Chains A and B, each alone.
Chain A
């Protein structure tokens, strides 16, 4: 349950049929909304909130957050059986993984079936008819996976054939438009849902995917959730095969990067308003000088002839007087 329009509607439809519902919200570590909560979103004045919890409170259904971050990276993102979408999004494997976890919870707690807010044809990779069937089969939920919004366009499931659910009261929604769902939301009194925005995951995002590909290319599978968290913020520059830097773009990102300073090098200037730059890998003197020059470039001293920049690498620290990088072409070459 993401707390978006479709999953909230699906839960409301089940409530209308008198079904006891437990909402499961999977925390993958790749949620865009989580990132906005962490760092803020300059384009939004919305308060911080988890939409799934908020939807649960509106519908008065319990929502449980299931933390799958640790296994998700290795089992889904790095080795997807069904491949990636337009970015690094393994949507089909993701659904299979989450539904497999949901099945386990269903069995442990004595629930009878699973439902989702999936809509036939809404997403190009995972919500076509064949993938919907693969997901049902590979998650071990054959006959027990109900999609209330598109149910009338799909084969009847056990909850329908057994009469637990009235199929006639389900829907035949298909396609990418959300107009029908928005009308239905009004009818069912579902209000205050987040505006449909095409998903809440970083993995299809081309910029994020580029950074993730670069990380995997240089580190292999030796990556952890902290590495993923850092891909969401800052300007990323690859200085060499071994060394990458992350330059904060504003105060919130600097504060965020600050939390990841342990075990990484850092570069900043006290002379001007400055980004915090994290250094990953074993930096040579040339790498360090370039990191200082890039940091100076993004500081308020960018037009100065020289800027004093401080650095800290392991147990060593010091200061370099450097000329800020002037050429955008150099930055473009290094930018990930």
Chain B
């Protein structure tokens, strides 16, 4: 179920790729396709490279411990911490549930936060998210 607001209207088509140049989705240029592919890749696989994530690990503004918990608990903990964080701050989630590999990127896309990527350790994950 969902809450809905009638006066803060947002046309979902706003989020579709800009075709104002006259190019249709089917006929868009290689550049448009490349940009969309790159955006998709960043959203799903993270926007930072592993080396940058390693550096972020030492600098994360918030560390969220969720090892030993099962999905959706890690997402609930990220969601809860992000409410108190400022835009631009980063969180590092520690979790050992494989569900975070798909659920955190999906949560970031849905809530428009930035998924930075994850590092797989032997027995857990370090997952990085930036508050938008």
**A14, A65, A105: the one within 8 Å of B76 (CB):** A65
CB atoms of B68 and A50 under 8 A apart: no
The CA-CA distance from A61 to B107 in the complex, in Å, is 10
- Interface flags, B1-35, vs A, CB<8A=1, else 0: 11111111111100100000000000000000000
The answer to whether A27 and B109 touch (CB under 8 A), given A22-B3, A102-B3, A111-B3, is no
Q: A77-116 toward B: CB 8 Å interface, digit per residue (1/0)?
A: 0000000000000000000001100100110011111111
B111 within 8 A of A: yes
Contacting residue for B70 out of A38, A109, A117, CB 8 A:
A38
Q: How many contacts A-B (CB < 8 Å)?
A: 143
**Nearest chain A CB to B104 CB, angstrom units:** 9
Main secondary structure of the interface of A (DSSP, over half): mixed
Q: Do B9 and A20 have beta carbons less than 8 Å apart?
A: yes
Contact A61 B102 (CB under 8 A): no
Interface of B is mostly: mixed
B residues in contact with A67, CB < 8 Å: 72-73, 76
Which B residues lie within 8 Å of A61 (CB)? 2, 110
Instruction: Check if A56 sits within 8 Å of B110, measured CB to CB.
Output: yes
Instruction: Report which of B3, B15, B106 forms a contact with A50, defined as CB distance below 8 A.
Output: B106
A142: min CB distance to chain B, Å: 16
* Interface hit among B46-54, B55-63, B84-92, B93-101: B93-101
Chain B minimum-CB-distance residue to A48: B99
A59 shortest CB reach to chain B, Å: 7
Cα separation A25 to B12 with both chains bound (whole Å): 21
**B contact residues, range:** 20 to 34
Is the pair A112, B4 in contact by a Cβ cutoff of 8 Å? yes
Whether A164 pairs with B110 at a CB distance below 8 angstroms is no
Contact B6 A159 (CB under 8 A): yes
Indicate if B39 sits at the interface (CB-CB under 8 A): no
Residue of B nearest to A25 (CB): B72
The number of chain A residues with a CB under 8 A from chain B is: 55
Whether B11 and A14, one on each chain, are in contact in the complex, defined by CB atoms closer than 8 angstroms, is: no
Q: What's the nearest-Cβ distance from chain A to residue B30, in Å?
A: 24
Query: Which of A25, A47, A53 has the most chain B CB atoms inside 10 A of its CB?
Result: A53
A59 to B76, CA, bound (A): 20
Most buried by B among A18, A47, A98, A117: A18
In the complex formed, the residue of A with least CB distance to B6 is A164
Which residues, 104 to 133 on A, are CB-close (under 8 Å) to B? 105-106, 109-117
Verify if B38 is at the interface (C-beta below 8 Å from A).
no
**Interface code A41-78, partner B: CB below 8 Å = 1, 0 otherwise?**
00000011110011011011111110100000000000
8 contacts between A and B (CB under 8 A): A14-B2, A21-B5, A47-B101, A47-B102, A48-B101, A50-B75, A61-B2, A65-B76
Q: 10 tightest CB-CB pairs across the interface, nearest first?
A: A56-B110, A164-B6, A57-B109, A111-B3, A53-B106, A18-B9, A49-B102, A116-B1, A57-B106, A15-B12
